[in-house]
Amino acid sequence: MKKKIVLKRLYHRGKWRLVFVFASGYDEDLVSVIKTIKGHNYSKTNRCWYADDDEATLKQIIRAFRDKADIDISFLTHNPDSNVPELPDKAESKPAKGPDAGSASPTPESEEIDREMIPAQRNDEQVINRPQYGPVEFRINEKDGRLAIRFTGLYDKGWIEEMKTFGRLYYDKPRKEFTLPWSLMTTDSLSDYFSSQGVEVKVIKSVAPEPLRSARRELGDKIRGRQLGDKAREGLEQMRKHLDGVRYSGRTNVSYLALLELFFKYYHKKDPLKITSTEVSQFVHEFIVTNGYSASYQNQMISAIKTFYKISGKGHFDPQVFERPRKSKALPKVFSKDEVKRILNSTKNNKHKLLLWMIYSCGLRRGEITNILLTDLDRGRGIVHIREGKGRVDRIVPVSVKVWEKIDEYIDGFGPRKFLFEGQTGGRYSAESVYRVFKQALGRAGIKKDVGVHSLRHSYATHLHESGLDIRYIQELLGHKSTRTTEIYTHVSRRNLVAVRSPIEDMDLK
């Protein structure tokens, strides 16, 4: 992954300076490049490298880092003075009105924000000596439907305006944090937004009660302190070789091995191959269910256990008869064709327009659209080659004539070098930027659905089904391994529903 530097402004020694912020931590290789920049210097007070804030220096920075790192200059598009927050004379309190107030109703000491926001620190503090923003803390309470946002450092006033676009925004004085109605889209979108601004986001989910957490720790420490027998160690090594052989991701390998080791230590005195189905059920109930672990954790534990017994000859445990916890099966959220039209026509920027057009017209995932190389476009065959989609599966997708015209127009105007969509300083376009473009398009189109970029892909599949395309072709276009995955779109398609006549039509009602 390419390194990243965020450029920010800092008022230092009587002038505005360009500050280099390392997105992934201090990097000697990047510092060596900074030392080639004219007028570079290091501030011991602010603990940062900086250079003069002028157009010539900025151009030199972009050239110097072209092949070394991505340069995020989004902060430099604002007026430098806006980086220093202002303190309003008085914060006005307004009660929530009507049902649109959402679930984030203000507390007696909280205020709805409808003007300049209360800053993280006052003007009498030396804010200009703190070059870095954030990090921003998100605290999620799904049960109460609230998202609390706290700025732990400096912030830009424009961030408040961005937050207001997601619903009624309140400021809680005692806690010094903002609150919004919680949703997955709001959390993901704002997280992507702050990340695109070069600000670290720390997401904190609501935690279990302390007595339950204490019980988890006590039991977990007791189990992890046990010694594994020779047979269990052999089983873990067998599992490790299998995971490496089937090319699971590194994260999956680590997770499966850790879960399996915990399971083996629970029955540390037994040969793993002699553990019975009843004992597996007992472990799930006593360790997972009783201690309030989530269904997703339970599912992952079961997956690790079942994988081991499948490759080891099962022993006394039959993986086929072991059930997983039930999960909610929400239908995909889709747009009508009119809504899609409004979204795709909502921006005049050719790059953003083509981005949205291709996601919908080709049924692409967010990561797939950013991976497209110029060499993946095959105009002669009218296709685009999608490489290593989900599950590392390649596929080809047809591209319509209308989209080809937009591709030609975009390439002539923007001149990408390697990837079809690239950042301002070259390199792959970020997934966060895709989300940002999509969210802005939703706002311009006047659509307030709680959805993500993936809904364009859902809509593509649903509209294909409504037009009469066989489910097996839709499966190939989406890159699904099984038609069972694709069949979910038959539940949201209107192809057969429009022919259903309600019984009320046959009743003589007045």
Active-site residue identified among 133, 267, 309, 489: 489
> Residue 155, CB half-sphere, CA atoms under 13 Å: how many?
29
Is 316 among the catalytic positions?
A: no
Active-site residue identified among 353, 365, 463, 465: 365
Is 146 among the catalytic positions?
A: no
**394 CB neighbour count, 10 Å cutoff:** 10
Is 390 among the catalytic positions?
A: yes
d(CA 104, CA 416) in angstroms, rounded, equals 44
Following DSSP, what letter does each residue of 285-352 receive, concatenated? Answer: IIIIITTT--HHHHHHHHHHHHHHHHHHT-TT--GGGPPPPP---PPPP---HHHHHHHHTS---HHH
**Residues recorded for the chain:** 510
| Nearest one of 112, 213, 230 to 164, comparing CA atoms | 112
Q: List, in order, residues 6 or more apart from 445 with CB less than 8 Å away.
A: 339, 342, 343, 345, 346
Exposed / middle / buried, residue 115 (Cβ in 10 Å: 0-12, 13-18, 19+): exposed
Whether omega for the bond prior to residue 325 falls within 30 degrees of 0, making it cis, is no
Q: Do 240 and 253 touch, CB atoms closer than 8 A?
A: yes
Is 115 among the catalytic positions?
A: no
Active-site residue identified among 231, 454, 494, 495: 454
Q: Do 172 and 178 touch, CB atoms closer than 8 A?
A: yes
Active-site residue identified among 38, 285, 390, 448: 390
Is 489 among the catalytic positions?
A: yes
Is 494 among the catalytic positions?
A: no
Active-site residue identified among 457, 458, 463, 465: 457
- Give 329-346 as a 3 state SS string: CCCCCCCCHHHHHHHHCC
d(CA 488, CA 122) in angstroms, rounded, equals 53
Residues catalogued as catalytic: 365, 390, 454, 457, 480, 489
